[in-house]
Amino acid sequence: MRNSALTRIAVVLGCCMPAAALAGPVEDGQAALHRKDYSEALRLFRLAAAKGDAAAQDQLGDMYFNGMGVKSDWAEALRWHRLAADQGNAAAQETLGDTYEDGWGVAVDGAEALRWYRLAAAQGNAEAQRDVGTIYYLGKGVSTDYGEAMRWFRLAADRSSAAQFYIGLMYEHGDGVAADRAEALRWLRLAADRGDQDAADEIDELTSGN
């Protein structure tokens, strides 16, 4: 599963928030991340996290996971992500799902991964909705259920190229639906147009020789 913690750090680094719009240690910490001042980001996030700010706790978890300004430490990342997730932070809940699905410093536990994914998905987190779909599609810790997988992929599809990719695969292979090459290509192209390389590769395989 894709590294959501790293992806969310990249989103923060990619934003260009005017200094005048910033207010508070979390926002200032995100600005520090943008300019790659990791020591300042850590200081600001720790200030907010010590006061119970879930967003700051989640950001600290990401920084420890990715080794940004600190040595990479999965146990410390897990501690901060769990503090944020227990307060209902959807991004942290989704990351905990990844942690248990992929075994980042913990034993792989599909049921625990699904539990955290569902909590985040219930808040509308598209990555988590896709992740729930993937769990059911691959049968990781649960019985394979293509109907349930498709339901979750469709919920995430308008915001997730990976969900579009999986829907394309399901139509390509007839997983829980009638095989439909045209429909498969339609979904794969939607994902590829959003930069999904897996989808682009799958299109090449489907169309080679045609």
DSSP H/E element including 166:
helix 161-173
Residue 156 DSSP SS3: helix
- Residues in the chain where the model's pLDDT stays below 70: 1-23, 209-210
| Threshold 0.75, pTM exceeds | yes
Tell me, what's the pLDDT at 24?
A: 87
Written as six digits, the tokens of 174 are 């007839």
- Domain layout of the chain by residue ranges: 1-89
Tell me, what's the pLDDT at 4?
A: 53
Task: Name the nearest CA neighbour of 205 among 188, 190, 183.
Answer: 188
Cβ atoms of 81 and 57 within 8 Å: the answer is yes
Tell me, what's the pLDDT at 190?
A: 98
Report DSSP letters for 49-88, one per residue: HHTT-HHHHHHHHHHHHHTSSS---HHHHHHHHHHHHHTT
Task: Name the nearest CA neighbour of 87 among 111, 130, 109, 57.
Answer: 57
Tell me, what's the pLDDT at 20?
A: 39
Q: E-assigned strands of the chain?
A: none
Tell me, what's the pLDDT at 21?
A: 44
Tens-digit pLDDT profile for residues 101-160: 999 999 999 899 999 999 999 999 999 999 999 999 999 888 999 999 999 999 999 999
